[in-house]
A = this chain, B = another copy of it.
Amino acid sequence: MPGGRRAHTGAFFEDFRLGRRILHATPRTFTDGDCSLYIALTGARQVQHSARPVAWALGYRDRPLDDLLVFNMAFGRTVHDISLNAIANLGYADARFCAPCYAGDTLRAESEVIGLKQNSSGRSGVVYVRSSAFNQDGELVLTWVRWVMVPKRNLEAPAPGTVVPELPPSVAVDRLSIPSFLDASKFDTAATGSSALWEDYQPGERIDHASGMTIEESDHMLATRLYQNTARLHFDALATRDSQFGRRLVYGGHVISVCRALSYEGLENVLSIAAINSGGHVGPVVAGDTLYAASEVREKWTLPGRADLAALRLRLLGLKNLPAARLASPRGGDGGYDPHVVLDLDYTVLMPRRGPR
């Protein structure tokens, strides 16, 4: 019984060629079950995802799915082809949320290789991809760039020419997608209990969110399987015993979702995520770690033609095993990150304005 001719071992660095376009498998129909699980897995409370009447009042045809549920589900489509073998998920940039998703919508994804850079060791390389997710009508729902470090299969394979894509430090205001039907003047802050609107946030302000969440093996595996993300390092305790960390790692997208849910208090009236500007996972998370979150306001932007809402550029810091209020600075003494920091994400949200309307 000869084994394994079909055993998929993931893509290696030399499998990626600049400009290659990959249609990812396994389209996925969202359901209300996904929404309930997302709440159960993260504790998300953003009210437009929680209550249908709130969504209707804003102009949505149903509860829109949590932006990060959509992100993680789209990301899950890409893992098999892009990062099954990844040594590290190095960063995200230029992610734009282009259209709301609803239960019943079906997501598919594709990616294009937009950059390649072999590492000086010759043992691995960095692959840059732009991935995009579409709904059943072919409408672009989400597009993002990420880059991953992938090992070479054959160390003798020649290095490709180095191409590193130019990525904007943040998604410019005029590239944000604001649904034309969305009417934030109808947003009732009684539904969140917070009266803090766009005008109440100032660049430089930091919010230390008080809540913490301890991660269990079941939790992160349930989430990662829900997204049909198959990367083995999240699931296989035996295989990861001999890895760098000696155990399963928590999928980074689950860390983002939990940290974002932890950051709810103080940012209650966020309407949606419009962009992820940059950032990434700067430290590993394993079961047993307790996550905390801090937010910083980086910039404030009005939006052309919109008196009802405006944009905030935020930084979301995810911490492990240190409450946010006890983090003096995300930087450690050596110029790198404080070892408690696991996530540093720069993103842009929409928020109702108080102004004349």
Contact = CB atoms under 8 A, between A and B. Distances in A.
A146 interface: no
Given A219-B222, A230-B43, A51 B36 contact: no
Contacts of A45: 26, 228, 230
Question: Which of A40, A191, A204 has the largest number of chain B CB atoms within 10 A?
Answer: A40
Each complex incorporates copies of this chain amounting to: 3
A325 B6 CA distance: 12
B222 A41 contact: yes
B53 A136 contact: yes
Interface string A228-240: 1010100111110
Contacts of A209: 7
Interface string A180-194: 000000000011111
A81 B210 CA distance: 15
Interface stretch (A27-35, A120-128, A300-308): A27-35
A211 B223 contact: no
B290 A238 contact: yes
A32 to B, nearest CB: 4
A54 B39 contact: no
B80 A193 contact: yes
A28 B50 contact: yes
Given A3-B325, A225-B42, A106 B31 contact: no
A215 to B, nearest CB: 9
Interface in A71-110: 80-81, 103-104, 106, 108
B42 A26 contact: no
Contacts of A216: 216-218, 221
Given A3-B325, A208-B4, A265-B6, A228 B43 contact: yes
Given A39-B228, A42-B225, A237-B288, 14 more contacts: A3-B206, A5-B205, A7-B207, A7-B209, A26-B193, A32-B33, A33-B35, A33-B36, A36-B37, A45-B228, A214-B235, A214-B248, A218-B222, A239-B290
25 contacts: A4-B206, A6-B196, A6-B265, A7-B209, A7-B210, A7-B265, A8-B266, A23-B190, A25-B194, A29-B52, A31-B32, A32-B32, A32-B33, A33-B36, A37-B37, A39-B225, A40-B225, A41-B222, A43-B230, A53-B106, A212-B235, A214-B248, A216-B218, A218-B218, A219-B221
Q: Which 4 A-B pairs have the closest CB atoms?
A: A33-B36, A25-B193, A6-B266, A31-B32
